[in-house]
Chain A
Amino acid sequence: MSNLRFLEELGAEFERIGDTHAAPARGPRAHRGLRGAIAGIGFAAAVLVVVVVVAAAVSVRGGGRAASSGPAGIVRVVFRASVPDPRAHFEAAVAYSVEILRERLRSAFHDVHVSGSGSEVVVSVTRAGPNMRARLLVLAVPGSLEFYDWEANALTPSGKPVASLLQTQDPSALAISQGGGAAPGSPGAGSMGLYQACFACRHAGFGAELGQRAEHSSVLDVRRARKRGVPDRGARSGADVAGRPALPALGAH
C-alpha cells in the first residue's frame, strides 16, 4: 500500500515537473504537440523505470523475508548494554543479563546463541521463522514487573494524586480513574503527551526536566534495585552472579 502511495506521489511529482517544463513552451501548436508527445513518452518511460525499480526493490525485500523465515534463516541482533543503576557492577550485570536472556530465548526459539563481551551482547537465532527479530526484541526487555495502587499514585497534569481529587469530581482525576469511555490506563483515558508528563512531574514538585539527571540515591533505592534482581557492587564477576539463587526454576511455584 505504501509502495502504491509512493508511486502515486512520484507520478504526481513527475506530472508537476512535466507541467513546469512544458509551461515555458512558446512554439507553434504543432511543435508544442510534438514536444508534448515527446514529454509524454519521456514521462511514461520515467514512470516505467520507477515502477521497475520499485518492483525490484519490493521483490528483493520479499526475498529477504522469505529467506529469514526458511529453515536456514538466521537472525542476528547486536545489543549495546547499559546498566541504569550506578551502584551495579557493570560486568556482573551484563553477565547476569546474558544468562537470563539466554533462558528466556530458549523458551521461544530452538537454536539460540547469546554471548556478551564488554558492553556488547550478541544474539543469534538459527532456523528463524517470520517475525523472529521482533519477538526477540520483545524478549530482550528488562522485564521489571511492578504493581501500583492506581488512584493513590497516578498524578493529574496539575501534579496532584488522582485519589485526592476524586471527591471534588475533578475532571482530569475522573478521566484517569474511570477512563472517560476508554479503559483506564489506555491512551485517551486521561493520558498525557511527553511534554505534559514532564510538566506534571514539575507540578508535583519533583522538577523533572529534559536532560536533567537525578543525583540522589537512597537506601530504599538500593533495596529496590536488589529486589529487582540487579546485582550491586558486591558481585565482582559473572561467576558471583551465576551463583546467585535468583533464577527461579521453570514452573516453580
Chain B
Amino acid sequence: MQYLLAGLPAGVSASQGQTLVGPRGIVVLQATPSSFAHPVQIRDPSAQFFVLKDHVALFGQDITNPQQSTDQTGAPDVTFGFTSNGNKAFSAVTAAIAHRGDLVSGPGETLNEHFAIALDTRLISVPSIDFKAYPDGIAGNRGADITGGFTTESAHDLATILRFGPLAATLVSR
C-alpha cells in the first residue's frame, strides 16, 4: 500500500508540501489514539508509529452491520458481523495467532498474541487472542466488537464510516 503523509512533523527537514511515500508492501500506521474524539495528528512531533508488512487479513467490506453499541462495562463500542468470507478469514487469522501464542509461551508463561484493526493510517485497536480460552481461534459467526477510548459520538461516527464504506478520494480541508 502506498502511504502518503501530507505533511511532516516539526524537526523533519523537508520542504513544505513534501510527502513521505512508503513502498508497496509496507504500511506505516499511527499508534492507537488515547481519545478518538481528539486524536494526535500525524504532523504532531509526538506522533508515534508502527511499521507493518502490508498483509491484510480482512478488509472493511468483509464486515457487516457495524453499529454503535456498549460493551459489558457499559462503555461505548462498535459491533459488527462478518460476511461468509470474512468469517472464514477471521477464524483463520485468530487460529494462527492463538497457535503462535501457545508456541512462544514457555512453561508457566502466557504470551498472548494479537490482531490489529486499522482505519486508514491509524491503528484503532490491537486486541489479544487468549490462546488458552480459544486454542483454535475465534469463530467469526458471532461477530466482533471494537472497544476502548470511544465516546458515544465517536463510536457512532466510526460505525457510520464503516457502514458506508471508504471514500475513493482523500479529502484535505483548506
Contact = CB atoms under 8 A, between A and B. Distances in A.
Contacts of A85: 168
B96 A149 contact: yes
B119 A253 contact: no
Contacts of B28: 197, 201, 208
Interface in B42-76: 46-65
A243 interface: no
A124 B144 CA distance: 35
A185 B59 contact: no
Contacts of A250: 163
A41 B167 CA distance: 61
Interface stretch (A11-19, A31-39, A51-59, A74-82): A74-82
Interface stretch (A2-10, A22-30, A65-73, A213-221): A213-221
B65 A144 contact: no
B97 A149 contact: yes
Given A83-B168, A143-B165, A108 B157 contact: yes
Contact of B8 (A83, A143, A145, A194): A194
A84 B26 CA distance: 16
B141 interface: no
Given A148-B52, A221-B24, A177 B114 contact: yes
Nearest to B110: A178
A146 B167 CA distance: 14
Given A213-B21, A218-B24, A141 B119 contact: yes
A153 B65 CA distance: 27
A87 to B, nearest CB: 11
Interface in A183-208: 183-195, 197-198, 200-201, 204, 206-208
Contacts of B165: 100, 143, 229, 246-248
A167 B117 CA distance: 24
Interface string B132-174: 0000000000000000100001101100111111111111111
B160 A151 contact: no
Contacts of A147: 56-59, 62, 89-90, 93, 115-118
A34 to B, nearest CB: 48
B115 A185 contact: no
Interface in A63-114: 77-85, 88, 92-94, 96-97, 100-101, 103-104, 107-108
A79 B49 contact: no
Given A184-B126, A187-B48, A145 B117 contact: yes
Contacts of B90: 147
A201 B20 CA distance: 12
A155 B21 contact: no
Given A145-B119, A177-B113, A213-B21, A229 B166 contact: yes
B19 interface: yes
A226 B168 CA distance: 10
Contacts of A195: 12
A210 B166 contact: no
12 contacts: A82-B170, A88-B168, A96-B168, A107-B160, A108-B157, A146-B56, A147-B58, A153-B54, A187-B48, A194-B9, A212-B23, A229-B61
